[in-house]
A and B are shown apart, each in its own frame.
Chain A
Amino acid sequence: MLETRLSKILASIFLFALIMGPGPGLYLVNPSTDNPSSTTFLGMPVLFAWASFWFFVQAGVVLVAYGRLWTNGNDLDE
């Protein structure tokens, strides 16, 4: 588990996405109820954009792990 550089990088990115997306990172973008202009980003609700972005990061990590690490039945060992 986590024996290669790539596996460590992917695990770190995945954990970071979890902390930033639904975790404390969400307060970086959470709109203030006093400032209605902060509720959107590129015309979308900012939290929708935030959830979508971190989902793409998580999905990207899984895709790379699928293609590069999970190739012979030994999870992150290779």
Chain B
Amino acid sequence: MSHFHILAITDIAGGHLPHFMLGGYMLLLVWLCYLGYRKGKATEEDYYLAGRGQGAIVTSLTIMATFFSSAALLGIPGVVYRDGVSFFLFALNLPVAGAAVYLLGDRIRKLGKARGYVTPADLVGDYYGGTEVRLLAAATSALYVLPYVIMQIKAGGYLAQRLFPETPPLEFFGSSCTMYETGVWALSFLTMVYVLVGGMRSVAWTDVIQGILLIFGMLVAGLATIAYFGGLGGYFEAVSALPAKALSAPGYSDKWNAGMLFTICAFASLGSIIQPGQWMRFYAAKDSNTLRKSALVFSVVLPVCFIFGIMLVALGGQVLFPPEITAEGIIPHPSVGTKSSEVDQIVIVMIQRVVPEMLGITFGAVVVTMILIAVLAASMSTADSNLHALSAVLTRDVYDRFIRPQADERERTWVGRIVIVLATMAAVALVEWSQKAGAFNPLELISQLMLLAIAFSSQLLPIAIDVLFLNKGTRQGAIAGLTAGIGLVLLLTIKPEWSFGITKIVHVSAIGIAANAIVFGLVSRVTKKVPQKRIDEFRRIIKAKG
């Protein structure tokens, strides 16, 4: 059976429903991009931070949409489908990240506004002084961003392949493009254009639409699943009959023990919320109240979407499409996929089963298409934010500091745009190359890169806490701590066996943060303090109201 059976049998729009709805979505993004361009000013601050004037609704939704990646509707439900209910506890990382939106974000915003920062490295580099901390922070940011862009672009190809499974390869200038390649190019090109043209304002406005689509998709899919089983009673009766392994920790893959879940919730969550794209959103917020409201919305709405939405869909998937446990691992039901990595298709398969039951074929097809577009939106909203952040990091922290310090604001903004084009091209080329290289498994490599990216981003946490709260660290301590944290994360990613099994019970980001913090603290005790005048200035800015 085609995964898109419902879309194939509906007669709406002559069988071209997905084409029309996808086209409408893309036109809407182009329109928002145009509006962002019309409203923008030709300044660096406006291009990267929308003039530091974003209100609560835009800030809430752009922070949420950036946090959601293709993992929200594909990867995370895939893990619930594979491992069972133990992975629901993963959602408890969201209130932690949400609280940090205010507790860390508002201090970052105040310092950014008072001292004209644009990137994370601007703040930590200015506080500790010298170029090394700035370069290490910039490297941390860049290492986080690129794998994330690649991941999202891949998801675009993956989705196009499944939205239009019967469509033959398209011919462009004499060369043939599969639907996968068409999806990769379409997502990359459209995202690149609206980031290029409208900067942060367009990115944030498109994130609003994408954020709304995501919330809609996750909640409607959850409601439809419960309705399919005849209400909450029927749903829980069905899932309670699953094998005990699916209803207990550490799940089928034996991965989700308390140590792993706790360290993800406590540390990786904070690493994700201080990634460069989010950090710049804190700078862009209008005032404290904006981040206060955003923190509340993030802490409450996002976990509801996961725990009472998309995760219920995936657990229901275990009932309707039970996976098979084999010696090779957990293989999804044949209707879901044939390889263990295809467990992430569970939502796509489930919505086509359950949504028409609740809404009928015609309206069901419209809603199914909207949920599929929400998957695309998840990818685009993360890709755009990360492309935009990478542009700022390479322009402000590298080009402006080390290549052409005399460059004016206009030149820097144009260099930023060139960076976006080059980064997009590089990401597409890597995705295309990996797809064609037979023995090379791009999905596994990118997944490893994604985990590595979060672990990298987390390494900014100890120095961020020091700058924002403690003011005890030194420049040498920050350099040593960052180097130790990044180095250990790299080492344990390449050679996990050198952790003596610790990486099986503690997330690697927490190990990196622990090493980073210990080295940072020890070196800071014996090296020269940050000038008291600078500490006082930072404290004064942070204590100020508004």
Residues from 26 to 78 in A contacting B, C-beta threshold 8 Å: 26-27, 30-33, 36, 39-40, 43-48, 50-52, 54-55, 58-59, 61-63, 65-66, 70, 72-77
Which residues of chain B are within 8 angstroms of A46 by Cβ–Cβ distance?
Answer: 247
Q: Tell me the bound Cα distance from A74 to B90 in angstroms.
A: 30
Which residues of chain A are within 8 angstroms of B292 by Cβ–Cβ distance?
Answer: 66, 70, 73
Question: By the criterion CB–CB under 8 Å, are B236 and A27 in contact?
Answer: no
Given A21-B89, A45-B239, A58-B92, 5 extra CB contacts under 8 A: A33-B248, A47-B85, A50-B89, A51-B89, A51-B91
Question: By the criterion CB–CB under 8 Å, are A39 and B247 in contact?
Answer: yes
Task: Point out the residue from B89, B98, B288, B308 that lies within 8 Å of A22, measured CB to CB.
Answer: B89
Give B230 Cβ to nearest chain A Cβ, in Å.
Answer: 14
Q: Tell me the bound Cα distance from A40 to B289 in angstroms.
A: 42
Give B299 Cβ to nearest chain A Cβ, in Å.
Answer: 4
Contact with A along B283-311 (1 / 0, CB 8 A): 00001110010011001100100011000
Q: Tell me the bound Cα distance from A25 to B89 in angstroms.
A: 12
Question: By the criterion CB–CB under 8 Å, are A47 and B258 in contact?
Answer: no
Which residues of chain B are within 8 angstroms of A52 by Cβ–Cβ distance?
Answer: 307-308
The size bracket of the interface on A is 35 or more
Which residues of chain B are within 8 angstroms of A59 by Cβ–Cβ distance?
Answer: 95, 299-300, 303
Give 28 CB contacts A-B under 8 Å: A21-B89, A21-B92, A22-B262, A22-B264, A23-B258, A23-B265, A27-B258, A32-B244, A33-B245, A43-B233, A43-B240, A44-B240, A45-B239, A45-B240, A47-B85, A47-B247, A48-B315, A51-B89, A52-B308, A55-B307, A58-B96, A58-B299, A62-B295, A66-B296, A70-B292, A73-B110, A73-B546, A75-B107
Give A58 Cβ to nearest chain B Cβ, in Å.
Answer: 4
From B469, which residue of chain A is reached at the shortest CB distance?
A: A1
Give B87 Cβ to nearest chain A Cβ, in Å.
Answer: 9
Question: By the criterion CB–CB under 8 Å, are B240 and A75 in contact?
Answer: no
Give B288 Cβ to nearest chain A Cβ, in Å.
Answer: 3
Residues from 67 to 113 in B contacting A, C-beta threshold 8 Å: 85-86, 88-93, 95-96, 98-99, 102-103, 106-107, 110
Q: Tell me the bound Cα distance from A11 to B439 in angstroms.
A: 50
Give A14 Cβ to nearest chain B Cβ, in Å.
Answer: 7
Which residues of chain B are within 8 angstroms of A36 by Cβ–Cβ distance?
Answer: 244
Q: Tell me the bound Cα distance from A65 to B295 in angstroms.
A: 11
Which residues of chain A are within 8 angstroms of B106 by Cβ–Cβ distance?
Answer: 73, 75
Residues from 528 to 546 in B contacting A, C-beta threshold 8 Å: 543-546
A55-B91, A66-B292, A73-B289 known; A47+B86 contact, CB < 8 A: yes
Which residues of chain B are within 8 angstroms of A45 by Cβ–Cβ distance?
Answer: 85, 236, 239-240, 242, 247, 315
